[in-house]
Amino acid sequence: MFARIAVPVVASLTLLAGAAMAATSHGGDDRQLGQYRQVAAMTSMAEKCTSLEQQTATAIREHASAKKIADAKKMHAQGSKLCASDKKDDGVKKLEQALRDLGVKPQY
């Protein structure tokens, strides 16, 4: 009785395990690597946003009498808003521009 149940179960598991290994050993690695790179890029952009937002806020306080302070404040607000959304690339560009308007070089 035990053999009637155990043999088909073991055979099924062996076939499923082989199929699973075949699926992950070929195309799975490429997909996983692509997903990893995408997550890493998103993380680094989020980190850039945070860093540039802090740098810009500090630069605005320290360069309050700069010629382009109004432009820098506007760019800072726009960049922060974009960084909070899914447009981190655009947010980084706006924050970098805000720093350049104040004569400050962005630090990464």
The predicted-structure confidence for 43-87, as pLDDT tens digits, reads as follows: 789 999 999 999 999 999 999 999 999 999 999 999 999 999 989
Q: How many CB atoms lie within 10 A of CB 102?
A: 24
Question: With a threshold of 0.85, does the pTM exceed it?
Answer: no
Return all residues near 53 (Cβ < 8 A) that are at least 6 apart. 76, 79, 80, 83, 95
Angle (nearest 5°) at CA 86 between 92 and 50 = 40
Domain boundaries, the chain: 2-101
